[in-house]
Structure 1
């Protein structure tokens, strides 16, 4: 009789061990704790639009005065403040020479994390924990995954976005619905 009980306990122990290993694997996948010690630095220059070279005028024809090509122009900017993680840097909304727009992060310094994104939002920027959950309540446009948690980088704003609707930028953790940091955009 004791022999039968021994066999009943063994499958239970094996089942518990399998469940624990599976739970640990899922937890590691979900939280990705190693990212807290991995920094990804990105150093992108502000994009410039290359205009095609014009055909030179025929010999002897008067040359038209060439005006300098339009330069990128900052429309709004702001300083990042910390929310869930210590975050600093500058955010700029820039109109490029061709009329397209980018959100530029300069000197970004934040923690790495799972599923970080750059959001253009209509939410107010609040200090500390008061700013944790405000960016998923209103209108927002995801500009893509965060390229790196340090450095300077650019994010293209889709052409159909009405920029007058959006007043802030957030470094957003989509997995846990929390802002790592955000900046209020002040028109320049």
Structure 2
């Protein structure tokens, strides 16, 4: 009888230890993979940045400005674009996850650069970033880490229109694609060529 009790007690201890190990694995796996993100999405609709209004245009209420002499011939206005210029663009290709929409590399009137994602639709995931890459869009996504890339930060939403400022001083020559990159698992959700 004592042998049977000892055997039952040993099984309870083993079952308790196994239960704790299984529960720990489930918690760690959930934290790492975040499986609930398969069922979540978010949406954002950012407008393009507005062009600044010139301080010299329009009338002034400053009396000194009115009293100052005006030149006989006004200087011709500088030819500065007032809307963003599209430098390159492309349509997203699905890779590890279904991804649609377009990417546009823009030069803003102030000379800065911006990446705009339009009508984006992709999946949610842990640690998804927006990259500009020197490698061709599509194909084997293992390649993206081996090329030159600029990390523009975490994706703002899985759906919609989004703007990503490109850091001042970034050399954008040779950056030929946009990649939605899951940094945690080193996979590309989708990519778009910039042509």
- Candidates 130, 136, 139, aligned match of 1:124: 136
1:27 maps to 29
- Candidates 12, 15, 25, aligned match of 1:13: 15
In structure 1, runs of 5+ residues without a counterpart are: none
Pairing 1:83–2:83 present: no
Contact 1:111/1:149 (8 A) holds in 2: yes
- Candidates 180, 185, 189, aligned match of 1:176: 185
Moved over 4 A (4+): 63-69
After superposition, what is the alpha-carbon deviation per residue over 1:125-183, rounded to whole angstroms, capped at 9, x for unaligned?
A: 23xxx332121111111100000010000111111211112111101111111111101
- Candidates 86, 100, 112, aligned match of 1:100: 112
Q: Determine the C-alpha separation between the residues in 1 that align with 2:140 and 2:87.
A: 24
After superposition, what is the alpha-carbon deviation per residue over 1:13-67, rounded to whole angstroms, capped at 9, x for unaligned?
A: 1111111111111111111111121110010011134356348372264485656
Pairing 1:167–2:176 present: yes
108-117 vs 69-78, greater mean Cα deviation: 69-78
TM-score of the two chains, using structure 2 as the length reference: 0.86
97-106 vs 57-66, greater mean Cα deviation: 57-66
Cα root mean square deviation, aligned:
2.1
TM-score of the two chains, using structure 1 as the length reference: 0.88
User: The residue matched to 2:124 in structure 1 has which SS?
Assistant: coil
2:163 maps to 154
1:59 maps to 66
Contact 1:122/1:167 (8 A) holds in 2: yes
